Amino acid sequence: MADGITAREAKRLQTRERLLGAAIAEFKRAGMAEADVSTIVGAAGVAHGTFFFHFPTKEHVLLELERREEDRIAKRFATFTKTHHDLSAVLREAADLVLGLERRLGVVLFKDFLALHFSPTRPPAEHGGDHPVVVLVAAQIEHARQRGETAADVTPMNSAIYFLLGLYALLVTTDESTGRSVLVTDYLTRTLRSLQ
Q: Which domains does the chain have, with CATH numbers?
A: 1-55 (1.10.10), 57-195 (1.10.357)
pLDDT of residue 2 exceeding 90: no
pLDDT of residue 4: 72
The reply to whether the predicted model has a pTM over 0.85 is yes
pLDDT of residue 123: 77
Q: What is the distance between the alpha carbons of residues 134 and 6, in angstroms, rounded to a whole number?
A: 36
Segment 52-69 mean pLDDT:
93
Q: What is the distance between the alpha carbons of residues 156 and 165, in angstroms, rounded to a whole number?
A: 14
Mean pLDDT of the chain: 91
Q: What is the distance between the alpha carbons of residues 151 and 133, in angstroms, rounded to a whole number?
A: 22
Segment 157-184 mean pLDDT:
92
Q: What is the distance between the alpha carbons of residues 4 and 109, in angstroms, rounded to a whole number?
A: 35
